[in-house]
């Protein structure tokens, strides 16, 4: 079932959301100081491409630097990506088939806002 949902996700919104994260990652990697944001964006792009079967969990070893980085991320890139997830989630929830995909979009909002200090792991 995960594979079917991932294929539908990829066709309807995963490819476009992943491109958004890739664009944010490329922009962040242009400057040396923002490379950690670019790497986080690339991780999320991979997750946005194929989300079913994976989940997000906080990293316990993340410290104050990740909090400061998340604030900077929210200001410059996070809210744009979160708005994309909200809009796409509402559009997918219009149809019955799209409801699981819309819910998956809503589950991606927290990591799109605060990507530092969390990791993407496979579910059991």
SS3 string of 42-84? HHHHHHHHCCCCEEEEECCCCCHHHHHHHHHHHHHHHHHHHHH
Q: How many CB atoms lie within 10 A of CB 60?
A: 6
CA-nearest of 7, 72, 88 to 40 is 72
What are residue 108's phi and psi, to 5 degrees?
-85, -10
Chain mean position to CA 114: 9
| Three-point CA angle 66, 70, 76, nearest 5° | 145
pLDDT number for residue 81? 82
The Cβ-side half-sphere exposure at 97, using a 13 Å CA radius, reads: 7
Render each residue's pLDDT in the chain as its tens digit; 124 residues: 788 888 988 988 889 889 988 988 898 899 888 898 899 999 999 998 988 888 888 888 878 888 898 898 898 878 888 898 899 899 989 988 889 989 989 999 999 898 888 888 888 7
pTM for this prediction: 0.83
Q: Residue 106's pLDDT is what?
A: 93
Give the per-residue pLDDT at 60: 80
Q: What is the pLDDT of residue 31?
A: 85
Enter the DSSP assignment of 31.
Answer: S
């Amino acid at each position: 079932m995960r594979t079917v949902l991932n294929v539908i996700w990829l066709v309807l919104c995963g490819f476009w959301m992943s491109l958004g994260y890739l664009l944010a990652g490329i922009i962040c990697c242009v400057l040396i100081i923002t490379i950690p944001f670019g790497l986080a964006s690339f991780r999320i792009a991979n997750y946005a491409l194929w989300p079913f079967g994976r989940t997000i969990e906080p990293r316990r070893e993340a410290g104050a630097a990740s909090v400061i980085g998340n604030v900077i991320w929210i200001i410059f890139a996070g809210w744009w990506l979160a708005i994309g997830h909200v809009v796409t989630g509402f559009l997918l929830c219009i149809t019955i088939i799209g409801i699981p995909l819309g819910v998956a979009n809503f589950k991606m909002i927290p990591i799109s806002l605060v990507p530092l200090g969390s990791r993407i792991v496979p579910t059991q």
